[in-house]
């Protein structure tokens, strides 16, 4: 039996030596040292030995098992380290590979145009005012000299929510609200915001779009103030060479009312496809605040006067950046919006 044990030990040691991977070595452990292995068999077989030989034999088996286990563990440690090294080698990162560029967020082109317009007027001493998009008929129409049944209400097809409430069709209700809140004090505001009209969407129309309204109220505010302000604005947005012209127009809340054109920034006035061969491009509507609007808001039209203007930042952005379809602003195709990313920090 002792010989059997020695042979077995030699075989196991040889197998341990031959194992070249953690898995192979584990197989050896299970095959020889496991519950069903030959060493366990040997221990079980000891019952057949004469009683006086059993302790000696038992001790021998235990010592052999300990030796084998120790050798196996040492070998296991080596093989494990080897496996780790191999894996590290395989997974080595090539630091010379170019990295994946991180996409950087940016302001939407429309937001940027709105901010550019705001910055100009803020630099002229205006404050930014806001109002609700779900608006009362009173502020959207009545307070702006558009009583119920007035034919000019049809100029702006509306989304009504109830008889008295609608989605605002322009940002002008903010001027009515601001004047009412100021209780006769001077006003100098711009009101940017979303507006809604029952239009069919196409390349130049959208049922939801953006407007910026401007309003100045005070003593001795004249048409020439409006003209000077808008002229500076046109130069700031479209280049210092720009001329403006005011054409008579109609808005129920201003009298007189005008539409403002700028000289074409592409051809300089000679006539091209941008200005449709006229040399002029229509930019906004404006006028002197109607006396009815002033008195409805609690001002005395014989003491104060004011001017107002309203424009569409989409139109300004489309002209400025050559965008051909207004819907690009709302679908947020990354290929479109990223064209306008600022490169500077």
Q: Which residues bind to ligand PHE, rule: CB under 6 A?
A: 170, 172, 213, 251, 254, 285-287, 308-310
φ, ψ for residue 217, nearest 5 deg: -125, 135
Query: Min. distance of Cβ 171 from ligand PHE in angstroms?
Result: 7
Please give the angle made by the CA atoms of 68, 70 and 73, to the nearest 5 degrees. Answer: 110
Query: Whose Cβ is closer to ligand PHE: residue 64's or residue 254's?
Result: 254
**Beta carbon nearer to ligand PHE, 64 or 172:** 172
CB of 327 to ligand PHE, least distance (A): 20
Of 69 and 231, nearer to ligand PHE (C-beta) is: 231
Of 29 and 315, nearer to ligand PHE (C-beta) is 315
Residues 279, 282: Cα–Cα separation, whole Å: 10
9/170 with CB nearer ligand PHE: 170
Q: What is the largest CA-CA distance in the chain?
A: 133
Q: Which is nearer to ligand PHE, 299 or 309 (CB)?
A: 309
Torsion sign (Cα): 217, 288, 146, 210:
negative
Q: Give the nearest residue (CB) to ligand PHE.
A: 310
Sheet holding 187-196, edge to edge: 127-128, 187-196, 208-218, 305-311, 280-289, 254-263, 244-251
What the block records as the tokens of 79 is: 């093989």
- Residue 132 C-beta: closest distance to ligand PHE, Å: 16
Min dist CB 257 to ligand PHE, Å, is 6
Closest approach of ligand PHE to the CB of residue 270, in Å = 29
CB of 177 to ligand PHE, least distance (A): 14
The beta strand positions in the chain, using DSSP E, are 127-128, 134-136, 165-167, 187-196, 208-218, 244-251, 254-263, 280-289, 305-311
Token pair 């440690």 is at which residue?
A: 77
Rounded Cα distance between 57 and 63, Å, is 10
Cis preceding-peptide flag for 256 (omega within 30 of 0): yes
Nearer to ligand PHE, 57 or 311 (CB): 311
């Amino acid at each position: 039996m002792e010989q059997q044990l020695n042979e077995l030990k030699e075989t196991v040691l040889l197998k341990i030596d031959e194992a070249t991977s953690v898995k192979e070595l584990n197989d050896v452990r299970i095959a020889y040292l496991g519950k069903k292995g030959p060493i366990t068999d040997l221990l079980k077989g000891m019952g057949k030995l004469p009683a006086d030989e059993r302790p000696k034999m038992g001790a021998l088996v235990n010592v052999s098992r300990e030796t084998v286990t120790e050798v196996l563990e040492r070998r296991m440690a080596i093989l494990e380290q080897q496996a780790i090294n191999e894996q590290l080698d395989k997974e080595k990162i090539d630091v010379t590979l170019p990295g994946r560029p991180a996409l950087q967020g940016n302001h939407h082109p429309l937001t940027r145009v709105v901010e550019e317009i705001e910055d100009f007027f803020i630099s002229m001493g205006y404050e930014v005012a806001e109002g609700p998009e779900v608006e009362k008929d009173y502020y959207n129409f009545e307070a702006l000299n558009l009583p119920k049944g007035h034919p000019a209400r049809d100029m702006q097809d509306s989304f009504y929510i109830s008889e008295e409430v609608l989605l605002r069709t322009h940002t002008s209700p903010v001027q009515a609200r601001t004047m009412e809140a100021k209780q006769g004090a001077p006003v100098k505001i711009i009101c940017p915001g979303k507006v809604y009209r029952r239009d069919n969407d196409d390349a130049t129309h959208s049922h939801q779009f953006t407007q910026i309204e401007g309003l100045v109220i005070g003593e001795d505010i004249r048409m020439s103030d409006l003209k000077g302000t808008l002229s500076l604005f046109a130069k700031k947005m479209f280049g210092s060479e720009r001329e403006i012209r005011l054409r008579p127009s109609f808005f129920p809340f201003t009298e007189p009312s005008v539409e403002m054109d700028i000289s074409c920034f592409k051809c300089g006035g000679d006539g091209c496809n941008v200005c449709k061969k006229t040399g002029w491009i229509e930019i906004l509507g404006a006028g002197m605040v109607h006396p009815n609007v002033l008195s409805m808001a609690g001002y005395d039209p014989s003491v104060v006067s004011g001017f107002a203007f309203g424009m569409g930042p989409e139109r300004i952005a489309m002209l400025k950046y050559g965008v051909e379809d207004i819907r690009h602003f709302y679908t947020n195709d990354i290929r479109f919006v990223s064209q306008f990313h600022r490169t500077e920090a």
